[in-house]
Amino acid sequence: MLWLRHVTPSIVAAVRPDAVEALTNPVFNKALRWYYAVMRDERPAKFMIARSVQVDEDPARLDEDGLWSLHREAEKRFYSLLREVEREDLGYLEFRRRYGDAKPSFLDVKIEIAYWILKICRFCEFRCRVGRSGSRGLGVCRLGRVTYVHSWFHHMGEEAPLVPSGTIFYGGCNFRCVYCQNWDISQVEPFAGAPVDARQLAIIQRELRINGARNINHVGGEPTPNIHTILESFRYLDVNVPQLWNSNFYMSTEAMELLKHVIDIWLPDFKYGNDRCALRLSKVPRYFEVVTRNLRIAAENGDMIIRHLVLPNHIECCSKNVLRWIADNLPRERVLVNIMDQYRPEHLVVKNPERYRDMARRPSRRELEEVYSYADKLGLLWRDISR
Ligand code: SF4
């Protein structure tokens, strides 16, 4: 993995010339129109817009039901302001000059709701309903209130339009993938990272942006259990930067409601084409229903690059089902698909190759070619974006 603390345009040109070319690629410019505009400061990021939407009641005085009702009202104003931004071609600076921060704001409502959810946690579809007030929790992800960051840097290995990507690796995950490449921070030692609060997280994002990041890439582990800290960090973030959600997409409907007005570009990991493989390899129930539901919501609320990691011996049951679902259900001209070939046996697959015999090798060239030609047959936008 190649990464840098500070990046300049000449470093990007030397290390990832395709990231420079991506800026003028017509397919990317069309599919990622909003993301590119925020990246260039030609639009305010969505979290900035949410911060400018006034609400009429003090969120701190409401219970969760009252907050959701206030959220529904503020949502209408948010979309109206978003339309105005587009209609009047408002760049970031002009937007901030006209609007500034509302007090209290739509973002404040979201933050307050997130802390209510944390008390009986429903950030993801495991819906553990555990209180997460301590530093460690009793839910599937084992996380409490504290957010742990294991590293943050300019990632030069992501998809070309994203590089350099200001990536923040959170500890902990709700999945138990038997082949996880980040098993140390996601499953074994999620607490070994640095505990950060919302202000510190905002400083990290600021540093990444002013030193060259095209976006802030929330990843892990999994960012979902940390939604409360991430949303609150937007209250303190004073630079314009696209927010990118790099996730297994197992968020609850409530979490999607909180995220969909503040995330500019989604980077879902759509691995499995059926529930049986998801349960066996990641210990996740109801996978297909939950992830496809969230993909539909995300496609209506931001730009998207879907990642699909080709798994050996899972071409018919997973790769083809995933690609077919995308082609049948999402707008093909707006959704980019990264078909990833870098699977390698890791973690429990290495420890117990007999049990996971199907997963104990890399995908073959024949399997990859079969997936590529299937994506072509479906008319998906994948060629420019896959590396
Ligand atoms: S984030 Fe998901 S796995 Fe973690 S406690 Fe909450 S509902 Fe459970």
Taking only the tens place, the pLDDT of each residue in 204-218 is: 999 999 999 999 999
Does position 22 have pLDDT exceeding 90, yes or no?
yes
Rounded distance between C-alpha atoms, residue 326 and residue 24, angstroms: 26
Q: Is 21 helix (H, G, I), strand (E, B) or coil?
A: helix
Distances in whole angstroms, Cα of residue 324 to Cα of each of 292, 332, 336? 12, 11, 14
CB of 245 sitting under 6 A from ligand 1: no
CATH code, 3-42+144-378: 3.20.20.70
pLDDT at 127: 98
CB of 114 sitting under 6 A from ligand 1: no
Rounded distance between C-alpha atoms, residue 102 and residue 49, angstroms: 10
Assign 5 a pLDDT band (cuts: 50, 70, 90): low
Taking only the tens place, the pLDDT of each residue in 92-133 is: 999 999 999 999 999 999 999 999 999 999 999 999 999 998
* Most distant CA atoms of the chain, gap in Å: 63
Rounded distance between C-alpha atoms, residue 173 and residue 293, angstroms: 20
Taking only the tens place, the pLDDT of each residue in 158-183 is: 999 999 999 999 999 999 999 998 88
Does position 2 have pLDDT exceeding 60, yes or no?
no
Taking only the tens place, the pLDDT of each residue in 27-41 is: 999 999 999 999 999
pLDDT at 44: 98
Helix axes 227-236, 106-119, angle to 10 degrees: 150
| Nearest Cα residue to 141 out of 168, 99, 173 | 173
Contacts 24+ apart (CB under 8 A), 296-300: 296/329, 296/330, 297/256, 297/260, 298/245, 298/249, 298/256, 298/260, 298/263, 298/266, 298/268, 299/330, 299/331, 299/334, 299/335
| Nearest Cα residue to 265 out of 234, 303, 218 | 303
Is 0.75 topped by the overall pTM? Answer: yes
* Ligand 1 centroid to residue 122 C-alpha, Å: 6
Assign 231 a pLDDT band (cuts: 50, 70, 90): very high
Mean pLDDT of the 258-262 span: 98
* Minimal-distance CA residue to ligand 1 atom 4: 141
pLDDT at 4: 56
Mean pLDDT of the 223-239 span: 98
pLDDT at 189: 82
* Minimal-distance CA residue to ligand 1 atom 6: 121
Assign 343 a pLDDT band (cuts: 50, 70, 90): very high
Average pLDDT score, the chain: 95
62 DSSP 8-state letter: -
| Nearest Cα residue to 35 out of 267, 333, 293, 294 | 267
pLDDT at 143: 96
| Nearest Cα residue to 264 out of 218, 223, 310, 220 | 218
Domains of the chain, residue spans: 3-42+144-378
Rounded distance between C-alpha atoms, residue 194 and residue 207, angstroms: 17
pLDDT at 183: 84
